[in-house]
């Protein structure tokens, strides 16, 4: 699976750059978030999950949080929270894994979650088997895929200020039944059939794809360059309205719920200090303002009609 985000990615970057409080992302943060965005779309496309796939990095360095959320229709949003300075040549560990405490979480949140049902979440560290710090988010996610799905996966990711792109190659079980019955059995059978060898060869070809190629070449050229000796079956790409695009899910109602969860006391103290409650959306940059009447309405249930109509 190959993904190439252009307009959606540029939209995300432009919204951040327009935020007067934060300004644009430094180049290494932009690369991290872009690679996460490409990976999120690939993972959502791969599992075809009926709900949001949320990819998060909880950092212990100057980047505290990175979030990418991809819906089943491939609409997506992404943001990073930076709490300290990031050098122009910062590595992944210098940003999010200074003390090896950084974590990556993958959450699958079902669309029609039943009351009490928790979203599924898998968490992996940002270090390898020997405790060594991983410097590519692709390696972190390959570990996750091997742990959670028991499937060998190769991920190649890259992002700059125009494109966020990724390639995902995964070894599929030959037979679903055989795979469920036990991995060893299926591995043996695959070896006998020469399938392991096939996967190894294709994995090596895929890993040979360079960052620069992934960012600048179209799908046709990449597929030809990597797999020209392999038989290929191509699927119709998802583009435009069916493809990945930026969309934020924030709303005045959700922000209102969040403010209500702070409690009357907290909200009253904010209003006493600032005269109103202002909340900005980190994903899209929208500003939500609740004046004292709006805020009081959150607690009495008498929310003024935002369209200017009357309240009954
Ligand atoms: Zn928003």
Residue 283's alpha-carbon distances to 23, 62, 81, 101, 200, in angstroms, are 13, 19, 10, 25, 39
d(CA 39, CA 36): 5
83 Cα: distance to centroid of ligand 1 (angstroms): 20
What is the per-residue pLDDT for 300? Answer: 85
- 255 C-alpha to center of ligand 1: Å? 10
Give the model confidence (pLDDT) of 75-95 as tens digits: 999 999 999 999 999 999 999
CA distances from 177 to 70, 135, 170, 257 (A): 30, 36, 18, 46
Ligand 1 geometric centre to CA of 287 (Å) = 8
Q: In this predicted model, which residue has the larger pLDDT, 108 or 151?
A: 108
Instruction: Select the more confidently predicted residue: 158 or 305.
Output: 158
Q: What's the gap in Å between 136 CA and the centre of ligand 1?
A: 28
180, pLDDT greater than 60: no
Most confident of 58-62, 188-192, 283-287: 58-62
pLDDT, tens digit (0-9, with 9 covering 90-100), for 6-50: 999 999 999 999 998 899 999 999 999 999 999 999 999 988 788
Report the separation in Å between the CA atom of 278 and the middle of ligand 1, taken as the mean of its atom positions.
14
pLDDT band at 181 (very low <50, low <70, confident <90, very high): very low
Q: Name the pLDDT band for 186 (thresholds 50, 70, 90).
A: low
| Residue 122 structure tokens | 């898998």
Q: What is the pLDDT of residues 137-147, one digit of tens each?
A: 999 999 998 88
Distance 282 CA to ligand 1 centre (A): 7
CA of 82 to the centre of ligand 1 (A): 18
How many A from CA of 250 to the centre of ligand 1? 4
CA-based torsion, 138, 139, 144, 147: positive or negative: positive
| pLDDT above 70 as % of the chain | 89
Prediction pTM value: 0.88
pLDDT band for 128, please (50, 70, 90 cuts): very high
Averaged pLDDT of the chain: 89
Distance 280 CA to ligand 1 centre (A): 8
In terms of pLDDT, which residue wins out, 285 or 172? 285
Task: Show the tokens assigned to 137.
Answer: 């988010």
What pLDDT shows up at residue 45?
92
Bridge partner list, 3:
166
- Provide the pLDDT confidence category of residue 309 given band limits of 50, 70 and 90: very low
pLDDT, mean of residues 250-279? 93
CB 46 within 8 A of CB 1: yes
């Amino acid at each position: 699976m190959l993904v190439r985000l252009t307009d959606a990615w540029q939209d995300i970057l432009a919204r951040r750059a327009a935020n007067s409080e934060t300004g644009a992302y430094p180049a290494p943060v932009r690369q991290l978030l872009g690679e996460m965005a490409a990976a999120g779309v690939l993972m959502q496309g791969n599992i075809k999950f009926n709900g949001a796939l949320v990819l998060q990095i909880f950092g212990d360095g100057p980047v505290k949080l990175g979030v990418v959320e991809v819906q089943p229709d491939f609409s997506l949003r992404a943001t990073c929270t930076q709490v300290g300075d990031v050098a122009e040549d910062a590595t992944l560990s210098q940003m999010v894994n200074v003390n090896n405490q950084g974590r990556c979480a993958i959450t699958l949140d079902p669309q029609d979650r039943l009351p009490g049902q928790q979203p599924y979440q898998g968490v992996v560290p940002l270090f390898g088997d020997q405790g060594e710090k991983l410097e590519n988010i692709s390696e972190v996610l390959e570990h996750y895929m091997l742990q959670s799905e028991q499937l060998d996966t190769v991920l190649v990711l890259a992002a700059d200020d125009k494109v966020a792109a990724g390639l995902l190659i995964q070894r599929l079980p030959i037979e679903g039944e055989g795979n469920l019955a036990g991995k060893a059995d299926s591995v043996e059978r695959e070896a006998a059939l020469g399938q392991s060898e096939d996967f190894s060869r294709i994995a090596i070809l895929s890993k040979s794809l360079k960052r620069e190629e992934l960012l600048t070449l179209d799908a046709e050229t990449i597929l030809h360059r990597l797999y020209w000796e392999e038989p290929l079956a191509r699927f119709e790409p998802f583009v435009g309205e069916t493809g990945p695009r930026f969309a934020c899910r924030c709303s005045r109602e959700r922000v209102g719920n969040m403010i209500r969860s702070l409690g009357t006391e907290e909200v009253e103290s904010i209003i006493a200090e600032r005269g109103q409650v202002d909340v900005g959306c980190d994903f899209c940059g929208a500003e939500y303002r609740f004046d004292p009447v709006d805020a009081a309405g959150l607690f009495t249930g008498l929310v003024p009609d935002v369209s200017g109509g009357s309240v009954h």
